[in-house]
Amino acid sequence: MPGFFMKNKLKNFILLSFLITSLILIWIWFSSTFLHIELNAEHYLLIGFSVFSFSWIFIQLLFYQIFSKEIIEINKLVENKLLGKQGKWSNGGIKEADPVETLKNHVNEILEIREKESKYYENLDSYRKEYLGNVSHELKTPIFNIQGYIETLINGGLNDERINLDYLKRAEKSVERMINIIDDLETINQLDTGELNMDFEKVDIARLTKDIYSQLELMSSKKNIQLKFDKKYDKPIYVYADEYRIRQVLVNLITNSIKYGKVNGETVVSFSFYDDKVFISVKDNGVGIEEVHLPRLFERFYRVDKGRSREQGGTGLGLAIVKHIVEAHNSSISVKSKVGEGSEFTFYLKRFEK
């Protein structure tokens, strides 16, 4: 039935049924007047049927004329208030469209949006629960450690020269760990809420990497890991970036290459150029990562080897922060890795053009 409301179809129907009805009536009139054929029950049935179908379709058009105005108003309301767009109904350009069909499409559109929204909120809710669980779990470990050391010291350990200083140092390490977690969480939160304004400027990425290498030399020397470039970069390589944030990215990636690198290994940074981009890669020959872990590596608190990460003072948030910052530079980061052979993280930045 609603299909019958279609304006153009109805017009054609009316025309057709008017034509057929007229032809039937003319033929009956002609045969009775000129051919002197007596009208029988079949003729009356035919007249009745054609008049009925003509009137039926005519009434449909009448209904259409009456209701279409209302439906057009509903369409306008749906577009403006529910879908938030200025469609052809709102602009008055309604001649060629069928209001009922449009209303049907609008209802479907709204249902799709609602479904997507409810899925999004479901995911958000489970993500929120998992996130809170992870945060409390991460903080619990150092807090329980501190509690344990303090209890031991109170219960006589304070006077025991063999453990008192050692336990205090361990407690201090746990406090440091908590501070690291909170700092990382704060950074993620700021990046999440967009509170952190990026300050884009001309940055010499080659110079920045050399700076970071010298800052991390002490750490790498403990494992005798060489911090190198794939070739000599004597000239500046200018990119368009937030220096402070990109420093954070490189520090995280290079620190990881040392933390998960092999003793006597190496970390190699290389720059390559494509179009208006500079590709920056940080490669190590460390423990590597199994392929199954790669898709989730940049998630918050995701670790391949929890024990190793904690042992190295990791919060499990480093790569999540890296991903956030790289994305804030309208870029993306990728990883290639093989267990036992090493890992390579690559991202790109826009080249600074004068």
| Site residues, ligand ADP (CB under 6 A) | 252, 256-257, 260, 284, 286-287, 289, 297, 302-305, 309, 314-320, 343
Q: Please answer whether residues 335 and 260 qualify as being in contact, where contact means their C-beta atoms are separated by less than 8 angstroms.
A: no
E-only strand ranges, 9-84: none
Our CB check for ligand ADP shows the closer of 187 and 256 to be: 256
Nearest to 175 by CA among 147, 155, 152: 147
Could you tell me the smallest distance in angstroms from the CB atom of residue 255 to ligand ADP? 8
H-type alpha helices, 93-163: 99-154
Residue 65 CA to residue 69 CA, distance in Å, equals 7
Amino acid type, 308: R
Could you tell me the smallest distance in angstroms from the CB atom of residue 113 to ligand ADP? 35
Could you tell me the smallest distance in angstroms from the CB atom of residue 314 to ligand ADP? 2
Could you tell me the smallest distance in angstroms from the CB atom of residue 179 to ligand ADP? 14
| The pairing of beta strand 201-204 with beta strand 277-284 | unpaired
Could you tell me the smallest distance in angstroms from the CB atom of residue 299 to ligand ADP? 9
Q: Which residues, in sequence order, are bridge partners of residue 281? A: 270, 346
Our CB check for ligand ADP shows the closer of 10 and 333 to be: 333
Nearest to 174 by CA among 197, 152, 199, 141: 141
Could you tell me the smallest distance in angstroms from the CB atom of residue 287 to ligand ADP? 5
Our CB check for ligand ADP shows the closer of 46 and 251 to be: 251
Our CB check for ligand ADP shows the closer of 142 and 318 to be: 318
Rg over CA atoms, the chain: 37
Structure tokens at 3: 């299909």
Our CB check for ligand ADP shows the closer of 102 and 343 to be: 343
Q: Please answer whether residues 27 and 88 qualify as being in contact, where contact means their C-beta atoms are separated by less than 8 angstroms.
A: no
Helix axes 243-259, 318-328, angle to 10 degrees: 150
Question: For ligand ADP, which residue has the nearest CB?
Answer: 314
Our CB check for ligand ADP shows the closer of 68 and 180 to be: 180
